[in-house]
Chains A and B, each alone.
Chain A
Amino acid sequence: EPEVTQTPSHQVTQMGQEVILRCVPISNHLYFYWYRQILGQKVEFLVSFYNNEISEKSEIFDDQFSVERPDGSNFTLKIRSTKLEDSAMYFCASSFTGTGMNTEAFFGQGTRLTVV
């Protein structure tokens, strides 16, 4: 069964450093997303990406964050100048169409980011 894969599984970084979280969505999917989950809390939407551009972003997704699809398979989330409160599990997800058009979003296994 195809799945979304994320690397690394765990990333420890010093406050103020930049991190890049990587995702390989399912190959025939067209919509890509990043969500985050602070420990013990709910999953929060960060950004959706379609046709090589951001389609929607939340208030969490400020200038510190950026996304990119550098090639035909990878989808990355860059966090500049990390803060302690950026520590969370970051999930990548993909779907064939936007879920408003009734298609399941598949989640990756997550990258646990720890900012020290």
Chain B
Amino acid sequence: GENVEQHPSTLSVQEGDSAVIKCTYSDSASNYFPWYKQELGKRPQLIIDIRSNVGEKKDQRIAVTLNKTAKHFSLHITETQPEDSAVYFCAASEDSWGKLQFGAGTQVVVTP
């Protein structure tokens, strides 16, 4: 089955700096890669996703890149703000039933 590795586990950045989180996956059949943001005690919320036929996608300060050959994908947050502080999870899906395999999460702390 699919295995998703996520790094780093914690990331501290100064407000205004960029943050990058990296994930690798094992199953070349995976074709959908969402990123979820989870604030303490709350539900995971989708912030951006990318399909296997696209190499890069951007939404305002957030971008995701996908390298299918190397089987890794990354989340980039630019101009970080304190409200970006949360746990970020990458995930991969390989089948039509929608099972998401999550990475271990990255705790992002943005300090003013």
Contact = CB atoms under 8 A, between A and B. Distances in A.
A36 to B, nearest CB: 11
Contacts of A44: 102
Contacts of B105: 42
A91 B43 contact: yes
A100 B96 contact: yes
B43 A107 contact: yes
A110 interface: yes
B100 A108 contact: no
Contacts, number: 76
B43 A98 contact: no
A105 B96 contact: no
Interface stretch (A48-56, A63-71, A72-80): A48-56
B93 interface: yes
B104 interface: yes
B104 A41 contact: yes
A48 B93 CA distance: 13
B45 to A, nearest CB: 7
Interface string B74-112: 000000000000000101011111111111110000000
B42 A109 contact: yes
Contacts of A55: 97
Interface string A25-50: 00000010101000001111100101
B90 to A, nearest CB: 10
Interface in B31-46: 31-32, 34, 36, 42-46
Given A41-B104, A42-B104, A43-B89, A100 B42 contact: no
